[in-house]
Structure 1
Amino acid sequence: MDFNQPPVRRVEVDPGHDLESRAWPMTLPVVRQLAREGLELARGVTFLVGENGSGKSTVVEAVAAAYGLSPEGGSTHSRHSTRESESPLHRALAVRRGIGASRWGFFLRAETMHGWYTYIENLGGDVPFHELSHGESFLAVLESRFGSDGFYCLDEPEAALSFSSTLALVAVLHRVTAAGGQVLCATHSPVLAAMPGARILEVGEWGFRETAWEDLQVVDHWRRFLERPDAYLRHLVDDEVPR
Structure 2
Amino acid sequence: MEVTVTVISDLYITGIKLEGGLPERSYLNELPAIKHLKQMEALPITRRVTFFVGENGVGKSTLVEAIAVAMGFNPEGGTINFNFSTEESHSELYRHLTVCKGMKRHKDGFFLRAESFYNVVTNIDAMDAEGMDPVPLIDSYGGVSLHKQSHGESFMSLVENRFGGNGLYILDEPEAALSPARLMRLMYRMDELVKRNSQFIISTHSPILMAFPEAEVFVLSEEGISAVPYQETDHFRITKEFMNAPEKLLRYLFE
TM over 0.5: yes
State the shift of 1:34 in Å: 1.6
State the shift of 1:21 in Å: 4.9
Contiguous gaps of at least 5 residues in structure 1: none
The match for 1:29 among 27, 32, 50 is 32
CA-atom RMSD, angstroms?
1.8
State the shift of 1:22 in Å: 5.6
Equivalent residue, structure 2, for 1:10: 15
Q: 1:43 to 1:136 in 2, by over 3 A?
A: same
Q: Which runs of 4+ in 1 moved over 6 A?
A: none
User: Matches of 2:222 and 2:34 in 1, distance apart?
Assistant: 11
Deviations 1:19-68 (A, max 9, x none): 13563212122112222222212241001111111211111111111111
* Secondary structure of 1:130 counterpart: helix
* Secondary structure of 2:27 counterpart: coil
* Secondary structure of 1:111 counterpart: helix
- Say if 2:16 and 2:97, in contact at 8 Å, map to a contact too: yes
User: Matches of 1:5 and 1:131 in 2, distance apart?
Assistant: 38
Under a length normalisation based on structure 2, what TM-score does the superposition of the two structures give? 0.86
State the shift of 1:153 in Å: 0.6
User: Matches of 1:50 and 1:195 in 2, distance apart?
Assistant: 17
* Secondary structure of 2:125 counterpart: helix
User: Matches of 1:3 and 1:216 in 2, distance apart?
Assistant: 27
Contiguous gaps of at least 5 residues in structure 2: 1-6, 129-136
**What are the within-5 Å matches in structure 2 for residues 1-243 of structure 1?**
4-15=9-20, 17=21, 19-21=22-24, 23-37=26-40, 38-102=42-106, 104-124=108-128, 125-126=137-138, 127=143, 128-234=145-251, 237=254
Percent identity between the two aligned chains = 37
State the shift of 1:182 in Å: 0.9
One-letter code of the match for 2:227?
A: E
User: Matches of 1:43 and 1:226 in 2, distance apart?
Assistant: 30
Aligned pair count? 235
One-letter code of the match for 1:47?
A: F
- Say if 1:8 and 1:96, in contact at 8 Å, map to a contact too: yes
* Secondary structure of 1:174 counterpart: helix
Under a length normalisation based on structure 1, what TM-score does the superposition of the two structures give? 0.90
- Say if 2:108 and 2:164, in contact at 8 Å, map to a contact too: no
| Further displaced range: 130-139 or 219-228 | 219-228
Equivalent residue, structure 1, for 2:4: none
